Amino acid sequence: MTVVRLMMQRRISDLDGQGHVNNVNYSQFIQEARVNLKNVLLKERAASFGQVVAKMEINYKVSLLHGTELVPIDAWVSRIGNSSYDINYVLYDEQGRVSLEAKSTMVATSAGASCPIPDDVRALLTEAMEQSA
**pLDDT tens-digit profile of 24-67?**
899 999 999 999 999 999 999 999 999 999 999 999 999 998 88
- DSSP H or E segment with residue 50: strand 50-60
pLDDT at 132: 55
Buried b (16+ CB within 10 A) or exposed e, 97-118: eebbebbbbbbbeeeeeeeebe
Cα separations in angstroms, 44 against 39, 66, 72, 125: 8, 35, 25, 14
pLDDT at 5: 97
Question: Residue 35 belongs to what domain range?
Answer: 4-130
Lowest mean pLDDT across 49-58, 64-73, 117-126: 64-73
User: Band of the pLDDT at 15, cuts 50, 70, 90?
Assistant: confident
* 91 closest CA partner among 15, 19, 1, 25: 25
Total domain count, the chain:
1
Taking the CA atoms of 41, 56, 117 and 44 in sequence, report the sign of the dihedral they define.
negative
* Angle (deg, nearest 10), helices 119-130 and 23-42: 110
pLDDT at 127: 95
Give the domain CATH number at 17. 3.10.129.10
